[in-house]
Structure 1
Amino acid sequence: MVKQERAARTRESLVRAAAEVFAREGFALASLTSISKRAGVSNGALHFHFESKQALARGVEDEAVAAVRAIAASARAGSPDPLQRLIDATHALMQRLDQDVVVRAGFELGSGPPRREGAVDLRGRWQSWVEEVLEDAEREGVLAQGVSAADACVTVVAATVGFEQLGADDRTWTSAKTLVQFWDLLLPRLASADVLSALEPGGTAAAASRRG
């Protein structure tokens, strides 16, 4: 059991170190030596857990995918209203991007030329989830008149992916304040009058904390 726990900690350290190096240098320029040094382990220990830089990148992506899935599941469990679920998920995602280098690197690794063979398109997965939630909103009749799920998806995905990319250099773009400004501007056009007043642009967690 002690060996298993030590191995798990080493693997976690390697994934985080890889994410930090990939985020700083990019996949092509990152070296296994720099990753092992950053993790504080030998090259032999690195190769015991990951046979190649490609395998390390996939380890980073897998953890980032798991984080996005957890964000979506938490949002779905947290609110019955699809638009509020979407708002809550965007806040949770931007917070993770701001605080977790593994999630940031996971998004970057799957995009941009040249595309790495076998890369996970995390932005594409985020788009699919946004589409699903907005289709729920359309079926439930909570979108504003004349607004389709497809049109709304273009706006939300373009904005949130833009925040993610801009936030790599300026964390203001992934801040709660920026998201509140975005939702304050979009919601009157996106949501039907019946649900608009009940939506929390800052997310339900922040609203609950204020009521606290």
Structure 2
Amino acid sequence: MVKQERAARTREALIRAAAEVFDREGFSTASLTTISSLAGVSNGALHFHFPSKAALANAVEEAAFARLRVLTGDVPPAGASRVRLLVDVTHALAGALRTDPVLRAGFALSGEPSRLGPGDLREGWRCWVEETLKRAEAEGELRPEAEAADVVTAVVAATVGFEVLGVRDGAWLSAATVTRFWRLLLPTLVPAERLAGFVAVGTHSP
């Protein structure tokens, strides 16, 4: 049991270190020696857990997917607003991308042209946004002229754009940036008589 726990800790340390190096240097130029050194393990220990850099990148992407599922996983109770959930989750995603190198590296790896990973975080995010807005539309939350497909395009383009631009300038992932986006979009999305019930800053913001 102790040996298994130690192996699990080593694997998690390698995933975290790889995420930090991929985030800082990119997948193509990242060095396994740098990753093992940052994790505090030998190259042999790294190769015991991950036979290649591609396998290590896949593990980072899978860990990032798990983090994304946590962010999007709460199902609102019956009668709760899907639009409000979407606003809150976009704020949570931006906050996590600011602070979590595993999530940040996972998104970057999903767009890496030199590799074929186990999934695509950006596509996973698009699917969740689409499903949430389709339910909002079906439940009468959207203005009649605001078709869910059009709103999906706007939300996904903006949030993925914030993620990409945030690599070089963290202001793109700030709560203020996400709030400005929703302040602009909400009036075109929600019927006027219901707009007062929504806050662009999100309901979970401090």
Shorter-normalised TM-score: what interval? Answer: over 0.9
SS of equivalent residue, structure 2 residue 73: helix
C-alpha separation in 2, matches of 1:40 and 1:17: 9
User: What is residue 140 of structure 2 aligned with on the other side?
Assistant: 141
Identity over the aligned pairs, expressed in percent? 55
| Residue identity opposite 2:9 in structure 1 | R
Q: Aligned-pair distance for 1:122?
A: 0.6
Where does residue 131 of structure 1 map in the other structure? 130
CA contact (8 A) 2:61 2:117 kept: no
**Shift of residue 119, structure 1, vs aligned partner:** 4.6
How far 1:91 sits from its partner (Å)? 0.8
Residue 191 (structure 1) shift: 1.0
* 1:10 corresponds to 2:10: yes
Shift of 1:162: 0.5
* Residue number in structure 2 paired with 1:97: 97
Report the TM-score, using the length of structure 1 for normalisation. 0.92
Whether the 8 Å contact between 2:62 and 2:118 is mirrored in structure 1 is: no
- The answer as to 2:29 corresponding to 1:29 is yes
Residue 194 of structure 1 and its aligned partner are, at CA, apart by: 3.7
User: Map of 1:73-112 to 2, 5 A cutoff?
Assistant: 73-74=73-74, 76-77=75-76, 80-112=80-112
2:163 aligned residue: 164
Q: Is residue 193 of structure 1 aligned with residue 197 of structure 2? A: no
1:200 offset after TM fit, Å? 2.2
Q: Which runs of 5+ in 2 are unaligned?
A: none
Task: After TM superposition, give the deviation of residue 25 of structure 1 in Å.
Answer: 1.6
Match of 2:149 in 1: 150
User: C-alpha distance in 1, partners of 2:118/2:35?
Assistant: 19
3-state SS, counterpart of residue 95 of structure 1: helix
Contact 1:176–1:202 (8 Å) recurs in 2: yes
Equivalents in 2 of 1:161, 1:119: separation in Å? Answer: 19
Q: Please give the secondary structure, in 1, of the residue aligned with 2:204.
A: helix
Verify: 1:184 aligned to 2:183, yes or no. yes
CA distance in 2, matches of 1:142, 1:179: 21
Residue type of the partner of 2:124?
Answer: R
Letter in 2 for 1:21: V
- With the length of structure 2 as denominator, give the TM-score of the two structures: 0.95
Unpaired runs of 5+ residues, structure 1, are none
Query: Moved runs in structure 1, 4+ residues, more than 4 A?
Result: none
Q: Is the 8 A contact 2:64 2:107 kept in 1?
A: yes
CA offset digits 1:178-200 (Å, max 9, x no partner): 11111111100111224321112
Residue 69 of structure 2: aligned partner:
69
**Number of equivalences:** 205
Q: Which residue of 1 aligns with 2:202?
A: 203
What amino acid sits opposite 1:172 in the alignment?
Answer: A
- Which deviates further from its counterpart, 147-156 or 47-56? 47-56
User: Residue 25 and residue 131 in structure 1: after superposition, are their counterparts in 2 closer, same or farther (change >3 A)?
Assistant: same
